[in-house]
Structure 1
């Protein structure tokens, strides 16, 4: 299977939408960004302390004591987070793009395509794996270093064959970005066909098992190690109505990621192979085109470039970590700790269970067979 160079001109937005009204830009994320760069930032807090001293405010004055205490608290909190990350993820690995071979599954569209373009323009060696035929991949421009391999990652034999080809064409794979995902069916469990469920699990979960098993040995044999990025979803924990197959696959993917991370750590390879888990909310890609954003203030639609930039940043730093966007995604663990009643109230306020247009819910008579809807 010969590699094919990807071509085209930069494409327009992946999912064009009408211009937003001014108030639609006001989101919880925006307010948190402003706070994190102002009153919640240690540097700003110490500036306030210095301003008070410039006014000759006595050290014993309540205003000075409050400002200094607040600055010390924020500084200590930031240091604690840094130490926590060091304990959890260890030292970063050395990253030299001239020596990296980046494999991206699902790289013909969405976030995967953006990551491929970013690294291709920076001169890295990139292998894009996707089930689409090259003639069906639109919107590409000739970017040096990016090679396209048509591959069904749900088939172990195809992955192994492509892995050998990448080794011959580009060198030892050192970075694996699992972005591939099948379309969302958005059907109630009783309406979901067994074939559709199996396909979602095969593409979103089993395929990642295959790619990790095939490419991880290459990273372990590389002098500088490697990085594995798995793109999951907050829906793996929130489990919205109408997304049984998708939520199940993403919950399994997050569990698979954490298990592999633990195995690398206990085997002494945690510093050699870095693990990045991406758990995001709704992204503005064709995959989510019919999903209604339940609450645009607390759960705004994510632009693919924002997710791609966060992934690229961690890969470049050679660090392990978690990427949770938007802001509410960072509170998922806190949500899981809430009593059941409060969880239900939160779900109703967020409108998560009405995000997927529901059809033919459970209104059938006993013994009546429900015909699965067509995919």
Structure 2
């Protein structure tokens, strides 16, 4: 797919690391200029995009702020003149630290009957409201341009597989998947395509549990290929959905997930 995004402009939230960073680099390798929105510093991603021969711009963005999402897209237009592709990759697995998440997997502390409403709400705010506000800002700009575009939401297999102790994450990712389908239907006649990538367990800062841990063993028990995915593998799925290779696809979800769904 060499040059699949030549001279396109892509906005990527969560682009400072993980799947977002890998997607930014892959898109740049395929010819796109990149605008990175993240709360974390984006210097490293900017450098990687520029190393790939394309331009990059970082905007500090809290996707739970509608004003920040609108400002991110406005900055992309000011910097590069338009927006062709958007990837809503910003997300969190829980409001807990990595150590707290591991402890909750090994107990019932994260079960619905015990999880705090504030913790549940925080995940929903980032993973659902943040994606909504990102997608809306992208779609409004694409509608104004009048020549279509591609919006890609990062969901998860957890949106379809209930995981004990992870109710906020599972529910939020199911929400992302339904939001994707509704927006795809609403925008189908405009040339704006809305699809999702639903990763399985992927080696990122979000999934940082030791291989000898109960959490990792449980994850591999439902992953037939028996390994974690990589951010680059998720980025490849995003590239397909961003490119003309998927021009007749909208309202769909791809699962680079090591065989978690084989039906």
State the SS of the aligned residue for 1:177: strand
Q: Deviations over 1:10-65 (max 9, x none)?
A: xxxxxxxxxxxxxxxxxxxxxxxxxxxxxxxxxxxxxxxxxxxxxxxxxxxxxxxx
Pairwise CA RMSD of aligned residues? 2.3
Q: Deviations over 1:326-359 (max 9, x none)?
A: 353433xx5xxxxxxxxxxxxxxxxxxxxxxxxx
CA distance 1:262–1:248, shift in 2 (3 Å): same
On the 8 A contact 2:5/2:32 being kept in 1, the answer is no
On the 8 A contact 2:37/2:61 being kept in 1, the answer is yes
What is the alpha-carbon distance in structure 2 between the residues aligned to residue 213 and residue 167 of structure 1? 15
Match of 1:330 in 2: 261
On the 8 A contact 2:21/2:45 being kept in 1, the answer is no
What is the alpha-carbon distance in structure 2 between the residues aligned to residue 139 and residue 215 of structure 1? 21
Query: So what's the TM-score if we normalise by structure 1?
Result: 0.57
On the 8 A contact 1:257/1:277 being kept in 2, the answer is yes
CA distance 1:322–1:151, shift in 2 (3 Å): same
State the SS of the aligned residue for 2:177: helix
Of 306, 309, 318, the match for 2:233 = 306
The alpha carbon displacement at 1:318 in A equals 5.0
Matches within 5 A, 1:202-281: 202-265=125-188, 268-269=189-190, 272-281=191-200
The alpha carbon displacement at 1:142 in A equals 6.2
Divergent runs of 4+, >6 A: none
Match of 1:117 in 2: 25
The alpha carbon displacement at 1:189 in A equals 2.3
CA distance 1:260–1:211, shift in 2 (3 Å): same
On the 8 A contact 1:300/1:326 being kept in 2, the answer is no
Match of 1:149 in 2: 59
Match of 1:182 in 2: 92
Pair 1:163-2:86 in alignment:
no
What is the alpha-carbon distance in structure 2 between the residues aligned to residue 278 and residue 201 of structure 1? 18
State the SS of the aligned residue for 2:40: coil
Match of 2:35 in 1: 127
The alpha carbon displacement at 1:165 in A equals 1.9
> Larger Cα Rg: Structure 1 or Structure 2?
1
5+ residue gaps, structure 1, are: 1-94, 335-375
Query: So what's the TM-score if we normalise by structure 2?
Result: 0.80
The alpha carbon displacement at 1:317 in A equals 2.4
Pair 1:172-2:103 in alignment:
no
CA distance 1:180–1:121, shift in 2 (3 Å): same
The alpha carbon displacement at 1:133 in A equals 3.2
What is the alpha-carbon distance in structure 1 between the residues aligned to residue 46 and residue 11 of structure 2? 20
Matches within 5 A, 1:74-93: none
Q: How many residues align?
A: 232
The alpha carbon displacement at 1:196 in A equals 1.8
On the 8 A contact 1:154/1:207 being kept in 2, the answer is yes
CA distance 1:299–1:228, shift in 2 (3 Å): farther
On the 8 A contact 1:280/1:329 being kept in 2, the answer is no
Q: Deviations over 1:221-250 (max 9, x none)?
A: 335310010111111111110101000100
5+ residue gaps, structure 2, are: 102-109, 210-214
On the 8 A contact 2:224/2:258 being kept in 1, the answer is no
